Amino acid sequence: MSDLYNNLLPETLCIADLGCSSGANTFLVVSELIKTVEKERRKHGFHSSDFHFLFNDLPSNDFNTIFQSLGEFEHNLRKQTGEKFAPCFFSGVPGSFYTRLFPSNSLHFIHSSYSLHWLSQVPDLIEKNKGNIYMSSTSPPSVIKAYYKQYGKDFTNFLKYRSEELMKGGKMVLTFLGRENEDPSSKECCYIWELLSMALNELVVEGLIEEEKLDAFNIPQYTPSPAEVKYIVEKENSFTINRLEATRIHWNASNDHINGGYNVSRCMRAVAEPLLVSQFGPKLMDLVFQKYEKIVSYCMAKEKPEFINVTVSLTKKK
């Protein structure tokens, strides 16, 4: 961000946060970007640049919560920095980031965190993914192929549209769930969903969920390897990769060993429940996640499962 600001010195720095959600973390990136730019400005004696932050998420996102929190955010930022900072302007942009969202050549910087592993839709499957809700070692090869095909299409579209919206020399930093293993059905990226599948299959055995309904349900997500990211970026050819890395984080990042299973289950419920409700209805959700918590707790007692984060920094080609 520092080199982007120093090279362009724009009157207004336009920054988009894609998949912004509406929780406490929404303003973390905003805060860090403002601090970084203000530090560079003071260091070199530059004139202030205004900030224009554009928050994007699906139309169902709670944008009202974001805007109601603006006053508190600006107050806390002044408290932290102890100084005045340039005027900040905020906009909400509802829509899928797999479509065009912003005017051509209008953005300097794009950030996205923990959103791009979600696909635009469930892949078109020519075979049932029987007993599974995601890719697994027991999924037919055609299921794995369909997931990768959908990911390739979505990520290519994402890069294409962002290249149209970014100014020349504009940058993106993207972080999403991924994997290090080149096998897309490997345990390191699919295990968390396999355990949820186990809970749902228990309800099938108990006669509470129809087997056909479970077999027709699949999670619209793909967790790519760095090699897959590199291949698609280079093939689409709008961006140069500055940095590409994978890092590991334990499922129970809070190190709460007593409530680890509960914490993971609660986080996954926030993510998965809307999808599950659309297929199975709301009545069984408490039971599903009670079973899931027990399964997760048992597995975490035996091993130390980890998520893989993939982060890529990109610059639009001139």
Per mean pLDDT, which of 3-7, 264-268, 284-288 is the most reliable? Answer: 284-288
**pLDDT given for residue 44 in this prediction:** 64
Q: Which DSSP letter does residue 26 get?
A: G
Residue 102: is its pLDDT beyond 90? yes
Burial class (CB in 10 A: 0-12, 13-18, 19+), 122: middle
Better-scored residue on pLDDT, 229 or 79: 229
pLDDT (tens digit, 9 = 90+) per residue, 154-205? 999 999 999 999 998 899 999 999 999 999 888 888 999 999 999 999 999 9
* Of 33-42, 52-61, 171-180, the least confident: 33-42
Cα 318 to its chain centre, rounded Å, is 27
Indicate the pTM of the whole model. Answer: 0.91
d(CA 312, CA 226): 9
**pLDDT given for residue 26 in this prediction:** 80
* Of 98-112, 118-132, 296-310, the least confident: 296-310
Residue 219: is its pLDDT beyond 80? yes
Residue 145: is its pLDDT beyond 90? yes
Residue 314: pLDDT band by 50, 70, 90 thresholds?
very high
d(CA 245, CA 184): 17
Strand 306-316 versus strand 166-178 pairing type: antiparallel
pLDDT (tens digit, 9 = 90+) per residue, 224-260? 999 999 999 999 999 999 999 999 988 776 655 566 7
Count the alpha carbons within 13 Å of 285 in the hemisphere toward its beta carbon.
Answer: 16
State the alpha helices, DSSP H only, in the chain. Answer: 2-8, 28-44, 63-68, 70-81, 141-165, 187-205, 211-215, 226-236, 260-280, 285-302
